[in-house]
Amino acid sequence: MRTLADFPTLTVVDHPLVQHKLTLMRDKNRSTTNFRQLLNEIGMLLAYEVTRDLPLELVEVETPLEKTKKPMIAGKKLVFAPILRAGVGFLDGMLSLVPSARVAHIGLYRDPETLTAIEYYFKAPSDVAERLVLVLDPMLATANSAIAAVDKLKGRGVTELRFVCLLAAPEGIEKFTKAHPDVHIWTAAIDSHLNDHGYIVPGLGDAGDRMYGTK
């Protein structure tokens, strides 16, 4: 069985609130509304963890008592890049924490026969290469979509990338880290394995279908 030691570029966010909300989401009887709300809340908590090492710079601010220099985030605003459609579920929660962030959209769908990722849409800030980009997708299963998204962003000149997901399968982690060993992964949990249809087990089902009520 693989352990965290086998994946040095991966961080599991084991905060009790994250784990509690994730367990609620796994329940097959959870309503679409509640599932979407929980994904939104976990997105905010994951964003807090992923951004804890952002660089700071001292800026001058005047309080009611005096002028002083205090820290603020340095450099250009970061970019959230959700993989459509399920990745959008993270967006509102993360933007509530970092409202000044830019947003890129990466449209990919998984071919049901081959499980390969097929691109149908891409839109990003013109200066995306100069920014830190957080790629968002609730599930790191086969990793085909995640790899394709990072390939696309690297092709646009992006050098600072992080991948954020809710659940990951060992097969997906291994494949992603082989393709992009320089991109760190943040996840709330590593589940057991993939089934024959490329779904994470025990998982939580199809995140997009459960979020939008389309199954």
182 classed as catalytic? no
Catalytic: which of 9, 209, 210, 214?
209
Give me the mean pLDDT over the 206-214 stretch.
Answer: 88
127 classed as catalytic? no
What are the tens digits of pLDDT across the range 84-129?
Answer: 888 898 899 999 999 999 999 999 877 777 777 788 899 999 999 9
Q: What does pLDDT average to over the chain?
A: 91
Structural domains in the chain, sorted by start = 4-212 (3.40.50.2020)
Catalytic: which of 102, 110, 116, 151?
110
The beta-strand segments (E) located in the chain are 10-12, 56-62, 67-73, 79-84, 102-103, 105-110, 117-123, 133-136, 139-140, 161-164, 167-168, 184-187, 189-190, 193-194, 200-201
The predicted structure's pLDDT at residue 7? 80
206 classed as catalytic? yes
Residue 198: which pLDDT band, with cuts at 50, 70 and 90?
A: confident
Catalytic: which of 111, 114, 137, 162?
114
The predicted structure's pLDDT at residue 76? 85
116 classed as catalytic? no
Buried/exposed 108-140: b ≥16 CB within 10 Å, e otherwise: bbbeeeeeebeeeebebbeebbebbbbbbbbbb
Phi, psi of 56 (to 5 degrees): -120, 155
What is the Cα–Cα distance from 95 to 80, expressed in whole angstroms? 8
CA dihedral of 71, 73, 76, 82, whole degrees rounded to 10? -170
What are the C-alpha distances in Å from 161 to residues 24, 50, 137, 154, 214? 29, 11, 14, 9, 31
What are the tens digits of pLDDT across the range 113-123?
Answer: 777 778 889 99
